[in-house]
Amino acid sequence: MRQNHILPKWLWFRDYNSFGFIIIKSSFLLNLGFLRTEKVEMKINQIVLALVLSCCFGTLLAQHPEILKSKAPFAIGEILEIHSKILDENRILNIYLPQGYSPDSAKTYPVIYLLDGSKDEDFIHIAGLVQFGSFSWINMLPESIVVGIANIDRERDFTYPTNNPKLKEDFPTTGSSAKFIQFIASELQPYIDQAYNTRASKTLIGQSLGGLLASEILLKHPEMFDNYIIVSPSLWWDDESLLKFAPLPNLSEKSIYVAVGKEGEIMERTAKELYEKLKPAQPDTNKLHFRFLEAHNHGDALHQAVYYAFESLFKAQ
């Protein structure tokens, strides 16, 4: 087999730690017994290339000083943990505060309560809509505080009891919405009003099972909120029994927005039925709205619906 030197007689590498030079002689490699075969040569070439690239990279690092000056977490509000005696558990609240909010200021803000308000659910993108819509050059809605109620068991908290055996089997923890509504009215809202600079205006946003809960509050306890944004409500729950519940006769002071995407016959029909049921109690078409979001489905209807709701509800105010 033909023997050759693997490398040229000498090769220069820059050591970017000491800025010195290292001379590698091929005779040293030969003394170690290396033979020039195609496989060995390919391996050595790969090593040489890696060394050359690392030296070049080191030179660049030496020529360009570090550009990072500081790093800090990016926060848009606060995360609170409160204890509910009614629910007998701790609950996490995600709070968005408007730019320039100060507890020492006399300025007060409306509050938007968001169901499914965990950071990995709807809190971040809804808070972004609130920020965008309240920019002075957009002026879609007033600067507002957003209270995202993080979930523990949404099937438990957002549903009323059912007599449907299949639903009981599929969703064994359901049926405690009355207790969750009491928590919102008796513990959460008073705490938020005490802890932050709030004004009387309160908005509730709920989608899917959260929309079912928002519908139940609107029909049974409408005094809890001034504005209701109900998206893709799961009114199929308990064989659509909530639609048999007559709304209180006077909702004239309430602003209501109901929306649904292209979500199948039951979801689309029941959302429209809710809207029709509310008409006698709220005949003002500037305060009662329905929108069919044909280009959206159950998974992506909420964001667009809330945008449209902000445009419609707060413009009327």
Give ∠ CA 53-56-60 in degrees, rounded to 5: 135
Q: Is the dihedral of CA 147, 150, 155, 156 positive or negative?
A: negative
Question: What is the rounded CA–CA span in Å between residue 258 and residue 233?
Answer: 9
> What pLDDT shows up at residue 85?
98
Count CB-CB contacts under 10 A for residue 5: 13
In the chain (317 residues long), the average pLDDT of successive 10-residue segments reads 46 42 43 52 61 55 74 92 98 96 96 97 97 95 98 98 95 97 98 97 98 98 97 98 90 95 98 96 94 97 97 83
**Sequential DSSP letters for 220-238:** H-GGG-SEEEEES--TTHH
Residue 146 C-alpha from the chain's centroid: 12
Q: Do residues 202 and 225 make contact, with C-beta atoms less than 8 angstroms apart?
A: yes
> What pLDDT shows up at residue 3?
47
> What pLDDT shows up at residue 195?
97
Count CB-CB contacts under 10 A for residue 9: 10
| Three-state secondary structure call for residue 23 | strand
**Sequential DSSP letters for 41-101:** HHHHHHHHHHHHHHHHHHHHHHHS-----------SEEEEEEEETTTTEEEEEEEE--TT-
Q: Do residues 197 and 219 make contact, with C-beta atoms less than 8 angstroms apart?
A: no
CATH code 3.40.50.1820 region(s) in the chain: 77-316
CA distances from 93 to 31, 135, 172, 248 (A): 71, 24, 26, 30
Q: What are phi and psi of 115, to 5 degrees?
A: -75, 160
The Cβ-side half-sphere exposure at 73, using a 13 Å CA radius, reads: 4
State the residue for tokens 């030296």: 55
Question: What is the rounded CA–CA span in Å between residue 269 and residue 236?
Answer: 10
- In CATH terms, 77-316 corresponds, of 3.40.50.1820, 3.40.50.300, 3.40.50.460, 3.40.190.10, to 3.40.50.1820
